[in-house]
Amino acid sequence: MPIVTPAREVPLPRMGRWALDVAFVWKVVLTLGLVLLYYCFSIGITFYNKWLTKSFHFPIFMTMLHLAVIFLFSALSRALVQCSSHRARVVLSWTDYLSRVAPTALATALDVGLSNWSFLYITVSLYTMTKSSAVLFILIFSLIFKLEELRAALVLVVLLIAGGLFMFTYKSTQFNMEGFALVLGASFIGGIRWTLTQMLLQKAELGLQNPIDTMFHLQPLMFLGLFPLFAIFEGLHLSTSEKIFRFQDTGLLLRVLGTLFLGGILAFGLGFSEFLLVSRTSSLTLSIAGIFKEVCTLLLAAHLLGDQISLLNWLGFALCLSGISLHVALKALHSKGDGPKPLKELGSNPDLELLLRNSQPEEGDTEEEEYFLAQG
């Protein structure tokens, strides 16, 4: 019987190792850069909304103008990608648009609108903590729609997040019931929103796996969904306000519109930076970065805005973050157990890869259908 000798490991040439080290360092630097870009837009728009609502008391009108700016930039992005790739972008029929996209758009509009509305009453720290409870409602609706299976670990996640939220708001010196109810309602609707969005993205025949296409289709219906709230609560006051329709100073009007337009750029930049981060890494990276972003937001709110956070509030926040971290870890284990998905299952190639990716696919490239769920 012939004796088989084990093959020797051939050491990589020094040049090859150097190239691998450079590639690894470049990937780490690129990931950190994308995380910082995401932090700038995400934290920036939170503080921007709080700052603006101190002097401009029309948050729904502000949100509607942001939606218009996002739609404009989404349309421009689609046009640029179509010109560079010479492939037509997806355009849904009216039947699919109204029956499948409308519920997601309405839930998204209410989530964003109520969130911005709450800044009239609550601090950035209370908003950040309460909004992080959206994971709780996402889990609940995922169980209702059978996107998740009931497990003991999920029950533990729900209990940790709910307990942390209670501890953070208990005897808070800057607690406001009206603002808390608004942002908690936004988190509840956010659970419906992200569940519907995940179901929408999983319908490969619609071809909305690219978030730019999804944003393009969602914004008009979101605008229309918020218009009744605007007409009821802000329409009369806005039409008689000197800052908008009864303006006396053209310079003041241009400054207000320019400030509102800046918020729309931040909102679009947030969605685009999230897509950049997911495309170059994975949805898991976005989820982990989101956890540290909440910590950074609270620290900045306490330092810059003077938000009062007691030891009990910090313990509640830590408890909530532990629940979110456990949820992220479970998602990571579940993704590994499922194995990599073929790229063809995504239904359509996101053409923004022309700006984002190398020629060879990476592990994170197969996770774009989880993009919107990761944002929650």
Per-residue confidence in pLDDT tens, the chain, 376 aa: 555 555 555 555 565 666 666 777 788 788 888 888 988 999 999 999 999 998 888 999 999 999 999 999 999 989 998 898 888 888 888 888 888 889 989 998 999 999 999 999 988 988 988 888 777 787 787 778 776 777 888 788 888 888 887 887 776 667 888 889 999 999 889 888 877 877 777 776 777 777 788 889 889 999 999 999 999 998 888 888 877 777 777 888 888 889 999 999 999 998 888 777 766 766 566 667 777 888 888 888 888 888 888 888 888 888 888 888 887 777 777 666 554 443 333 333 333 333 333 333 344 444 444 444 444 4
In 3D space, the residue among 193, 186, 185, 189 whose CA is nearest the CA of residue 102 turns out to be 193
- Are 273 and 34 in contact by the 8 Å Cβ rule? The answer is yes
The whole-model pTM stands at 0.76
Q: What is the DSSP letter of 93?
A: -
Q: Which pair of tokens denotes residue 73?
A: 């930039």
Give the total residue count for the chain.
Answer: 376
Is 259 part of a structural domain of the chain? yes
Whole-angstrom Cα distance, residue 208 to residue 212?
Answer: 8
Q: What is the DSSP letter of 234?
A: T
∠ CA(196), CA(45), CA(57), 5° rounding?
A: 95
Is 4 part of a structural domain of the chain? no
Is 374 part of a structural domain of the chain? no
Per-residue pLDDT, 116: 92
Per-residue pLDDT, 74: 92
Is 35 part of a structural domain of the chain? yes
Is 216 part of a structural domain of the chain? yes
Per-residue pLDDT, 345: 36
Whole-number Cα distances in Å, 372 to 104, 138, 286, 318, 341: 12, 12, 10, 25, 18
Is 5 part of a structural domain of the chain? no
Alpha carbon 231 to chain centroid, angstroms: 27
Whole-angstrom Cα distance, residue 324 to residue 109?
Answer: 24
Whole-angstrom Cα distance, residue 376 to residue 134?
Answer: 6
What is the extent of the structural domain holding 173?
21-334
Per-residue pLDDT, 64: 94
Per-residue pLDDT, 363: 43
Is 13 part of a structural domain of the chain? no
The interaxial angle of helices 283-300 and 14-55, nearest 10 deg, is 50
Q: How many CB atoms lie within 10 A of CB 368?
A: 23
Annotate 35-67 with b (16+ C-beta within 10 A) or e (fewer).
bebbbebbbebbbbbbebbeebebbbbbbbbbb
Non-local CB neighbours of 120 within 8 Å, separated by 6+ positions: 53, 57, 59, 179
User: Into how many domains does the chain fold?
Assistant: 1
Whole-angstrom Cα distance, residue 328 to residue 372?
Answer: 14
User: What is the Cα gyration radius of the chain?
Assistant: 23
Whole-angstrom Cα distance, residue 146 to residue 149?
Answer: 7
Per-residue pLDDT, 283: 59
Is 159 part of a structural domain of the chain? yes
